[in-house]
Structure 1
Amino acid sequence: MQNQIVTPGNVLGSDGSLSQHGYSTQAVLGFNRDGIKAPSHRIKEWDFYQVSNDHYCLQLTIGHVSYAGDVSVKLFEFETGKRFDFSNMLVLPFSGLNMPSSAEQGDLTYSKKGFHMQFQVIDGERRLICKSEGSSKSPTIDIDIRLTQPDRTSIVLATPFDDDKRFFYYNHKINCMPASGFARIGEKEYPFESDTAFGLLDWGRGVWPFSHEWFWGSGSGYVDGKRFGFNIGYGFGNTSAATENILFYDGTAHKLGHVYFDLQGSGGYMAPKVFTSDDGRFEMEFTPIYDRLTKTKLLIVDTQCHQIFGKFSGKAVLDDGKTIIVKDLVAFAEHAVNRW
């Protein structure tokens, strides 16, 4: 079953539970944060941007799990493994970050002690800015990147958790945004060009159980001169009403059912894997090239994530039956285990 949400309204009803379960390809529901009835320490909110090409990847995050938060810059090279990590861990931020109630409008800014990060949402594009004066332990940072949005096609998911009717996940992911600009870390500059680089937004708001596990994969690129992308995953609550699995091709969304993948399987995370869907419309071989392993421990937070970047090759079938042949598309699939 794939329930598409088409009726506008609030994300949350009067009892604090989701008013509708399912997916949409644009934001139909409005996130009414004041409708949350669960304890405030269970609220989690984040804006995560990723900008990448076939050689390196930049990640910018502003987010929190109520009693802990993170404002971070990560940049890593796939071939060499060279990696830069800057993270400003926040204690007890709760609602202090003033996270926007929509992924489609509202800027997000964090500034403190010689560090500035801002995510701007402009009609038809986004601008990602980060500047840091640096220190004896960290180099200067100068980032200015523009992401264009030729269309508003995306995947929006509203899913409940079975643990408590007041628990939910409202998520908006946007793929296939051509990226241009630069990330300068110390003396090293990493350029991004719109014909080879794409941006991704993972915008999440919700009330989560303390222990959780998910699998997520995402990719964007050009196939036969057209923008092509996918979002796959499971573990984000009860997805019986709709999965978040979807294809994007030339500005149009094509919904998928279940996609199965096991990153921990035979050979471990860096062994070749196979991705397959229950309807035969997403069949890919995956050859890993880099494991971005992250671990976080702060207060009672204990998280670990293997984000495996690699090359996807195979086929994707659109709603009209057209088959898209994919060859060596650099994208990622991840496995996260969280106690937060």
Structure 2
Amino acid sequence: MRRQPAPAGHGRCADGSPPGSVLCPNRPHDRTARTTREPENPNTSNDPNDPDERAAAEMTAEREITAPVDLCLPDGRLNPAAVGWTRRPLHRANLRGWGRVKRWEYWGIVTPSHIVGLVASSLDYAGLHGVYVLDRADGRELSEDVVTPLARGVRMPERSGTGTASARGGPVTVEFVQRPAGTTLSAVAPGFRLEAEVPRPPGHESLGVVVPWSPRRFQYTVKDLGRPVRGLLTLGSRTFVIDESDSFAVLDHGRGKWPYAVRWNWAAGCGPGRAVQLGGRWTDGTGSTENALFVDGRLHKISDELVWEYDRADWLRPWRITGPRVDAGFHPFHVRTARTNLGVVASETHQCFGRFTGRAQADDGSWVDLDGLTGWAEEARNRW
């Protein structure tokens, strides 16, 4: 992996902002680029008189958690001791109540020939699960999604890394069996079958974060990047071997109580010995971020809010994601658009697959090259 020293002032504008940032006055911007930077968090009331908002504001200092902790208090509110970040899953998502609780497991797999997405989720009033495959050679997609009322047939464990998460309904079944040594992924849909093993290398670290909008609205997420994966992918009559020498898997584990309307950005890129995890918009103003660099499996936490620039009129144009420790470009080669509209429940996601350029700063101040990392960057808008 390529690491570069950090010369004083390198990559900075006169006001200290990174080049390419909307805050940098010295660099002209493409007028067609759209930035998602907003002065306030769109997922909270921003009312200083709201007692929940005042309480949340007291819980915003990022700190590393090193011992097991419950996500919720006995009354179902956010446990202040749970707010922070971890290098391995330590939170128990002891969620209570019904109606605003969201639970999901998403696995993304990237191979030289295909990109695969598997999801199992419970939104309390509905279950959403499905499979997605992109053929990287010709751009053909296979997608099969199922909605089950009241999340029937969905199982979600309280902890990441242990227990079985599964969803069954209609023609689609997905199952993720989690053990200390790794996870077994199984999925079946019309014209699709996947059987894969995702080992957990010794010492491998993941990013766990609790995002506090208020004591009643909060999210626990685990982003686990760059996991080796091996197995078989069957599409119709053809079977493809997934070889861990040139493939990787990414986990997005989510448990929380969400606002009705929310927007987010997420980017993840992996390559040999390096991975980058970036998020935005939904965490703005909470004091928590889901940003990290991984070098040889070790987590380097990035606690800055980032500026995201991309063109919503042309998702295949290059993206820029910048901050004091991140100067990343993303160059899409395919965009997946997914829309659901069930009236009061609706979602729209633009997930772009592509390659990263740029660099990110490690904890020791050195800069790590992101060039060649493969993955995705997305915008999601949900009413749920």
TM-score band by shorter chain is 0.7 to 0.9
Q: Using the alignment, how far apart are the partners of 1:50 and 1:276 within structure 2?
A: 24
Q: 1:66-85 maps to which residues of 2 (within 5 A)?
A: 66-85=124-143
* Displacement of 1:25: 1.5
* Displacement of 1:57: 0.6
Which region of structure 1 is more displaced relative to structure 2, 104-113 or 314-323?
Answer: 104-113
Structure 1 match to 2:289: 243
Structure 2 match to 1:101: 158
Give the conservation status (yes or no) of the 8 Å contact 1:213–1:235: yes
Q: Which amino acid aligns with 1:120?
A: V
Counterpart check, 1:192 vs 2:242: yes
Counterpart check, 1:298 vs 2:360: no
Counterpart check, 1:263 vs 2:273: no
* Displacement of 1:17: 2.4
Gaps of 5+ in 1: 133-137
TM-score by length of 1: 0.87
1:153 aligned to which of 205, 228, 245: 205
Q: Does 1 or 2 have the higher relative contact order (CA < 8 Å, sep 6+)?
A: 2
1:112–1:8 CA distance, 2 compared to 1 (3 A): closer
1:8 aligned to which of 68, 78, 101: 68
**Percent same amino acid among aligned pairs?**
25
Structure 2 match to 1:230: 276
Structure 2 match to 1:311: 355
**Residues 18-71 of structure 1, C-alpha deviations (whole Å, 9 max, x = no match):** 2132211222322212xx35xx11111111111112442111111121222112
1:274 aligned to which of 320, 325, 345: 320
Q: Using the alignment, how far apart are the partners of 1:27 and 1:316 within structure 2?
A: 24
Counterpart check, 1:288 vs 2:288: no
Counterpart check, 1:218 vs 2:274: no
Q: Which amino acid aligns with 2:267?
A: G
Q: Using the alignment, how far apart are the partners of 1:114 and 1:8 within structure 2?
A: 38
Counterpart check, 1:334 vs 2:381: no
Secondary structure, in 3 states, of the residue corresponding to 2:99?
helix
Give the conservation status (yes or no) of the 8 Å contact 1:312–1:328: yes
Q: Using the alignment, how far apart are the partners of 1:16 and 1:188 within structure 2?
A: 48
* Displacement of 1:10: 1.1
**Residues 199-228 of structure 1, C-alpha deviations (whole Å, 9 max, x = no match):** 111111111111110011111111xxxx21
Q: Using the alignment, how far apart are the partners of 1:326 and 1:113 within structure 2?
A: 41
Q: 1:36-51 maps to which residues of 2 (within 5 A)?
A: 36-37=96-97, 40-51=98-109
* Displacement of 1:239: 5.3
Give 1 or 2: higher strand fraction: 1
Specify the structure having the higher radius of gyration (Cα): 2
Aligned length: 320
Q: Using the alignment, how far apart are the partners of 2:159 and 2:369 within structure 1?
A: 34
* Displacement of 1:233: 0.6
Secondary structure, in 3 states, of the residue corresponding to 1:328?
coil
Give the conservation status (yes or no) of the 8 Å contact 1:155–1:173: yes
Counterpart check, 1:174 vs 2:202: no
Structure 2 match to 1:28: 90
1:299–1:64 CA distance, 2 compared to 1 (3 A): farther
Counterpart check, 1:18 vs 2:78: yes
Gaps of 5+ in 2: 1-60
Give the conservation status (yes or no) of the 8 Å contact 1:263–1:334: no
Give the conservation status (yes or no) of the 8 Å contact 1:171–1:202: yes
* Displacement of 1:166: 1.0
Secondary structure, in 3 states, of the residue corresponding to 1:100?
coil
Q: Which amino acid aligns with 1:181?
A: G
